[in-house]
Amino acid sequence: MLLWSTETVEKSRYRFRPQLPHISSTDRFRMPQNISSDFIPRFQGSTFEYMLETFAGSFGSFDAWRTGREQAFCWKADFWSDGKLSLISGQYSSEWCARAAPETPEWLSVILPRAGAVDITLGRAEIEGTPGRLLLANNREAERISVRGAPHRSDVLRLNWTMIAQTVTAILEVPLIGSMDLAPTIDLSTTSGQLISGLAETLIIGMRNNGPLFHSPIAMSNLTHALADLVVRSIPHRFSYLLDKKVHLIAPRHIHRAIEFMHVNIEKPLTMQSVADAAGVSIRSLETGFRSFRGTTPSAYLRKIRLQAAREDLLDPLNRQSLREVCLKWGFFHFGRFASSYRMVYGEKPSETKKRSGC
């Protein structure tokens, strides 16, 4: 199972950085026949180092080390991705651990153990996943993910975290800031577990071996968004209490069209007339709808999502824009008012946020 760069940290611990692996004919092997004969991967080998080179070549930096005492390390794996969702299928003859490197992009791993076990360390808690249980892990929050059992087999769906953040905003009308605190385990005997595992299995079958989903981008996109939607709606998390509050606030279509138009065109100069035109209603109807179903005005809502976008830029350690450049980028032309609004919402100055990002 791949969760997550290579300079040696210690004798048994490695950091691998991306490079295209050299496939040596002497580093190939046949897995024992008692391990799922229907799994025919493109990559396999008999050394831990070669496995890490293979994974890093496709997924980037991650830290990993062996924990098993066996000298041999037989493995076989394969992976497929459309950029937003990846599938990693793997089998391993010995135990090992992994964790995200600081530069690793953020994603949500949906882990389905098939044989053996997967342990996730979250602070002081150790979460165990075995066949019959589904695990969820944000790679930035998990301190360590351990692969156990000999042989071990698992499938992992890796979902770009941006999709989760966008889904939270779309459903709950709040920005996702900080940890989401998703429940890490799902019992497959529950209704929510059956829904998510059923969708996960459909995605796995459709993606494996460059399956039919890669030939139908619309179907792939719809199923990926459905997965993010199910996670936000069905799995307990820090914002779950807001779901109950939203039940009686089902907004009409023109409000949803206006919100979608604002998000898509957030970097462009927008007038409320252009938003109303996109929604197919008058400015008065737009104002009334937002006050009734969102408890705010269209202009205040636009200001809120632009403020959120500015914060994401300030938190990005790779963003080298100055505070004033970020301010202007998102349509705030008066820096003093921007700083005041920002502090009121986030409890800190924009400069403090940027300083915390390391810029």
Its pTM stands at: 0.65
332 torsion bin: left (phi>0), alpha (psi -120 to 50), beta (else): beta
Q: What's the CATH number for 253-356?
A: 1.10.10.60
Domain boundaries, the chain: 7-233, 253-356
Q: How far apart are CA 34 and CA 158, in angstroms?
A: 27
Of 110, 98, 87, nearest to 48 by C-alpha is: 98
Residue whose pair of structure tokens reads 């944000």 in the numeric block: 138
Which DSSP helix (H) or strand (E) runs through 308? helix 298-315
Q: What's the CATH number for 7-233?
A: 2.60.120.10
Write the burial class of residue 54 (CB in 10 Å: 0-12 exposed, 13-18 middle, 19+ buried). buried
Q: How far apart are CA 245 and CA 259, in angstroms?
A: 19
Task: Say which DSSP state 29 is in.
Answer: -
Task: Say which DSSP state 104 is in.
Answer: P
Biggest CA-to-CA distance, the chain: 73
Please report, as a single letter, which amino acid is at residue 151: P
One digit per residue, the tens of pLDDT, for the chain of length 359 reads 444 433 333 333 444 444 433 433 333 333 333 334 456 889 999 999 999 999 888 777 789 999 877 778 999 999 999 999 999 999 999 999 999 887 788 899 999 999 999 999 988 889 999 998 899 999 989 999 999 987 899 999 999 998 998 888 888 877 787 788 899 998 788 888 899 999 999 999 999 999 999 999 999 999 999 999 999 999 998 888 878 665 445 678 899 899 999 999 998 889 999 999 999 999 999 999 888 887 789 999 999 899 988 988 888 888 889 999 999 999 898 888 899 888 887 778 899 888 876 66
Of 150, 146, 142, 180, nearest to 164 by C-alpha is: 180
Q: How far apart are CA 176 and CA 179, in angstroms?
A: 8
Residue 5 is predicted with a pLDDT of 35
Angle between helices 191-207 and 217-234 (to 10 degrees): 160
Residue 41 · residue 72 · CB < 8 Å:
no
Other CB atoms within a 10 A radius of the CB of residue 221 amount to 14
Residue whose pair of structure tokens reads 């040596």 in the numeric block: 24
